Amino acid sequence: MSLWLVRAGKHGEQEDKVIEKNIVAIGWLKLPDLSSIKSREELKTLYEQTYPDTKKMAVVNNVAQVWAFFSRIKEGDLVVLPLKRRAAIAIGKITGPYEYRTDIGDDIRHTRPVKWIKTDLPRTAFSQDLLYSFGAFMTVCQISRNDAEERVKKILEGIREQPPDVEEPEKIDDIEQAARDQILEHINQEFKGHSLARLVEAVLKAQGYVTRRSSPGADGGVDILAASGPMGFDKPYLCVQVKSSDSPVDVTAFRNLQGVIKSFGADQGLFVSWSGFNMKVHEEARRSFFTIRLWDSGDLVEAIFKYYEKFDDELKAELPLKRIWCLVKEKEVD
């Protein structure tokens, strides 16, 4: 059994479809059905005919990825899908051979069936070296460094892994995501429990809200009350619930917030869950789009980046961040 990384579009365009349809998929949509391909050389010839303008080294790289997806990945192998739209990682098990499908959408053709085991594991459940490996630019690659497969199995069993005693890799493909993961880990360690509500409150104040944060302990289902206007008397009235637990929030907690909004006479709600939300919550939240917003750790970090300069000096000292610029050279991936 092996562990594979398979992405769902450069910007996560196919994430919802592949999870809903229990598949993993790759691009290279111009390639026809590969079911009759017998060898890597045969695939290379087909690729060169289909994409005649591709540079030689890119052909080698892309053919290797398509061949791995088509032939090297075996039934029973684990597959990792780092999600782009949520700060989470999905893990599944391959259940069958390659299939060419035209019934899912114009952006999906080459697929493998998958049984998704977890679709909402927070990135903070994984050690930094695993996240570095998951940040590879390639669409498809095997993850084997530092006994990755066995460690992922333990995470699936609910065992909190200890970071291995290894040096960080010399080369990091996705520098931006690596930096973001370090920030996530710092917040996870330094703003546990009720302290996370302080960060959320700082963002709300920077947005112009007048706020009142509950004291630690029983909070009546609301951690922060927020409203507009000089004294906080103007609408919208906002109820905010903040969860810093290591597990995704379930739909019961979401429904409780709906009740809290009504009991406080608020207009809208914000639910911040550091470890995200399970799929049932996302389904119900869609029907509450005009009244409730969901933020996971990734959404909160994006808000922190946007409003950081307006934070007070004490909070900046606890969360020292610095904006840097670097040259981005796009690599040729599908």
pLDDT score at 134: 87
Give the end of a domain, one of 157, 172, 187: 172
pLDDT given at position 330: 58
59-118 pLDDT, tens digit per residue, is 999 999 999 999 999 999 999 999 988 888 999 999 999 999 999 989 999 999 999 999
In a domain, 326, yes or no: no
Residue 333 pLDDT greater than 80, yes or no: no
Report helix, strand or coil for 236: strand
Q: Please tell me the distance from the alpha carbon of residue 170 to that of residue 165, in angstroms, as a whole number.
A: 15
Pair (155, 20) in one structural domain: yes
Q: What is the CATH number of the domain that holds 289?
A: 3.40.1350.10
Distances (CA, A) of 256 to 60, 178, 262, 305: 53, 35, 10, 30
Q: Verify that 157 and 268 share a domain, yes or no.
A: no
Distance of alpha carbon 277 from its chain centroid, rounded?
Answer: 11
Predicted local distance difference test score (pLDDT) of residue 37: 94
Domain identity same for 250 and 313? yes
- pLDDT bucket at 329, cuts 50 / 70 / 90: low
Task: Check whether residue 309 and residue 210 sit in a common domain.
Answer: yes
Looking at residue 146, its pLDDT comes to: 87
pLDDT confidence of 230, banded at 50, 70, 90?
very high
CB atoms within 10 A of CB 128: 16
307, exposed or middle or buried, with CB in 10 Å at 0-12, 13-18, 19+? Answer: middle
Span 19-70, pLDDT tens digits? 999 999 999 999 999 999 999 999 999 999 999 999 999 999 999 999 999 9
- Please give the share of the chain, as a percent, with pLDDT higher than 90: 67
Q: Is the CA virtual torsion 321, 323, 328, 330 positive or negative?
A: positive
- Are residues 221 and 258 both part of a single domain? yes
For residues 119 and 233, membership in a common domain is answered with: no
- In this structure, are 215 and 313 located in the same domain? yes
- Do 145 and 202 lie in a common domain? no
Number of domains composing the chain: 2
Does some domain include residue 97? yes
pLDDT tens-digit readout, 284-323: 999 999 999 999 999 999 999 999 999 999 999 999 998 8
Q: How many CB atoms lie within 10 A of CB 179?
A: 13
Q: What is the DSSP string of 244-285?
A: --SS-B-HHHHHHHHHHHHHTT-SEEEEEETT-B-HHHHHHH
299 assigned to some structural domain: yes
* Tokens representing residue 139 in the block: 């669409």
Question: pLDDT value at position 177?
Answer: 78
In this structure, are 120 and 208 located in the same domain?
no
Q: Give the whole-angstrom CA distance, residue 267 versus residue 290.
A: 10
Contacts for 146 with CB less than 8 Å, ≥ 6 apart: 129, 130, 164, 166
pLDDT band at 221 (very low <50, low <70, confident <90, very high): confident
- The token duo for 210 is 């007048």
Q: Do 95 and 212 belong to one domain?
A: no
pLDDT digits 0-9 by tens, 150-205: 999 999 988 877 766 655 554 566 677 778 888 988 998 899 888 999 999 999 99
pLDDT classification of 247: cutoffs 50, 70, 90: confident
Q: Given this model, what pLDDT does residue 158 score?
A: 84
Residue 63 included in any domain: yes
Query: What is the Cα–Cα distance from 75 to 85, expressed in whole angstroms?
Result: 28
Per-residue pLDDT, 240: 96
Beta strands in the chain (DSSP E): 3-6, 23-26, 78-82, 88-94, 99-100, 110-122, 140-142, 210-213, 224-228, 234-243, 268-273, 292-295
Residue 275 lies in a domain: yes
Domain CATH number, residue 143 = 3.10.590
Count other C-beta atoms under 10 Å from residue 283's C-beta: 11
Q: Which residues contact 99 (CB under 8 A, 6 or more apart)?
A: 23, 111, 112, 113
Domain range for 115 = 3-172
Burial status of residue 170 (CB atoms within 10 A of its CB: 0-12, 13-18, 19 or more): exposed
Mean of all residue pLDDT scores within the chain: 89
The end-to-end CA distance of the chain, in Å, is: 26
Contacts of 83 (CB under 8 A, 6+ apart): 8, 12, 15, 89, 90
15 and 149 within one domain: yes
Quickly list DSSP for 4-15: EEE-S-TTSTTH
| Residues 147 and 60 grouped into a single domain | yes
